[in-house]
Chains A and B, each alone.
Chain A
Amino acid sequence: MKIKFKLNGEYVEFDAYPGESLFELLRRNGHTEVKGNNCKTGECGACTVLLDGVPVPSCTILAGRVKDRSVITIKGIGNVEKPHPLQKSFVEEGAVQCGYCIPGIILSMKALLDENPNPTREDIKKALSGHLCRCTGYIQQIEAVEKAIKLLKEEKNA
């Protein structure tokens, strides 16, 4: 079956198996920036993408559900030349080690900041709670989000 949807801001049409997950669809079509192992339970949060702006584990989403909707992966919010403030702050604050969990975490944090530009530390911790990180730990990540909040405000006021 053909599935047309908006991927990182541009319309795409992929051939999909009717019973596959969004994770499988994206990986098969070269979007290896989506990490994870298709656990189908959303266990670790690494495969998180934004579906119409809402963070969801792509391994738990049937590919057919994204028809005519918007999907954003980590590549959709910035790149090396022009990183999103969250990507910049995660690197600068040492919040990335192996990097496997980071795309999912940054997308969840983006959704948090889009909804609430001034989250408390508790809000950040809660939003992080669906994401497992086994090497960096969470302190630097929380600090990176707090730095990104400042960067976003500076961007807005510039």
Chain B
Amino acid sequence: MARRVALTIPVLLGVATLVFLLIHLIPGDPAQAMLGEAAPQADVDALRAQLKLDRPLLEQYVNFLGALLRGDLGTSLRTRTSVTAQIAERIPATFELAFAAMFVAMMVAVPLGIAAAAWRGSFVDHAAMAVAMGGMAIPNFWLGPLLAIVFAVELGWLPVSGRGGIDHLVLPAVSLGLALAAMLARMTRASLLEELREPYVRAARARGISRARAVIAHAFRNSLIPVVTILGLQFGAVLTGTVITETIFSWPGIGRLLIQSIGFRDYPLVQGCILLIAVTYVAVNLLTDLAYGWLDPRIRYQ
């Protein structure tokens, strides 16, 4: 377990290095690119000095890492405020959306997967899996607007955009969670079918327990382990999805902040958003791995 934790340190360092290098990937002069072609030379020089872009690369890198350890992500070029503070302000909204989407996904996927496995090969199975296939192919940037057309514009049941009560959360969470739901439903079905072949379930069946009871009372709990793992591993996809969903529904989270700051060429803020999402993703993957070992003692990290 300690080994698994230790293995994430070089990965985190790599992530930080890549995010640091982003600014240096900008073609031409980064300071000029941030201010636009028309900016006066004096302003460009001032910004270059402010960002210490005139220092040797290695020195910049060491400073970047040092600041990072202190939780300092620099200053936004546009608002002149701390990047860390701006991001911290947006975190609750993004996590609210991400967790709501994962909740929606589980609520849809588990019943669908169980039904498909319980009536394997039947019409129910085929219909559930066809829905799941479709759900995986539908882009969330299409589903979002479609849901908005139907439920917000035509029916007027839910607000079109913004953050507020639970009613504001429904459409973004559903449009973000559906692709995950589709994947989890397939996973639940496959995992449950595998579990139903296990000797202990067959023994229970041989004692005269109905298939439905075998599914619910015996196989279901164990079959959830891989499903929960996938849920954890897919957290990154959900976080990336928030970039799109937040843009569609004007949801005030990190994703929307990222896209807006790209539009303003506010690169310190872009770096901060990307770093936060990537580090969260690494952390959740680590937690998933550790939880997996805890849930299933057969798998332990030496």
Whether chain B is bound by chain A comes out as: no
- Residues of chain A touching chain B, judged by Cβ–Cβ distance below 8 Å, are none
